[in-house]
């Protein structure tokens, strides 16, 4: 995994690493403007089977589908490709 930045996007500060798995690393973070605690996931963009962008799209789809009753589906606040070398996919979520 490439070097992880101190911030993600404009508003999210990384606090500490929580875990890692087959698809990347998960960090505890905080929105510096609202103090909302979030989970921040990183996935290298050169991974063989990228999942993170699909995960973001799925969460957004489920939140916009009126037939889905919210049962703990995370909110996605930010999903982007960050500029490290090689770049990583980053997303911030909370439930």
Domain ranges of the chain: 7-94
Tokens of 14: 């990384």
**pLDDT surpasses 90 at 33:** yes
Place of tokens 């490290």: 84
CATH class of the domain whose range is 7-94: alpha beta
pLDDT at 67 over 70: yes
> What is the rounded average pLDDT for all residues in the chain?
82
Higher pLDDT, 94 or 67: 67
Are the beta carbons of 88 and 72 closer than 8 angstroms?
Answer: no
53/4 Cα distance (integer angstroms): 18
């Amino acid at each position: 995994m490439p070097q992880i930045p101190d911030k993600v996007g404009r508003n999210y500060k990384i606090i500490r690493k929580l875990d890692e798995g087959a698809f990347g690393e998960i960090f505890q973070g905080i929105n510096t403007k609202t103090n909302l605690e979030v989970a921040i996931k990183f996935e290298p963009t050169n991974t063989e089977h990228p999942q993170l962008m699909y995960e973001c799209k799925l969460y957004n789809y489920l939140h916009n589908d009126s037939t889905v009753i919210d049962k703990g589906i995370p909110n996605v606040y930010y999903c982007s490709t960050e500029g490290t070398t090689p770049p990583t996919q980053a997303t911030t979520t909370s439930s």
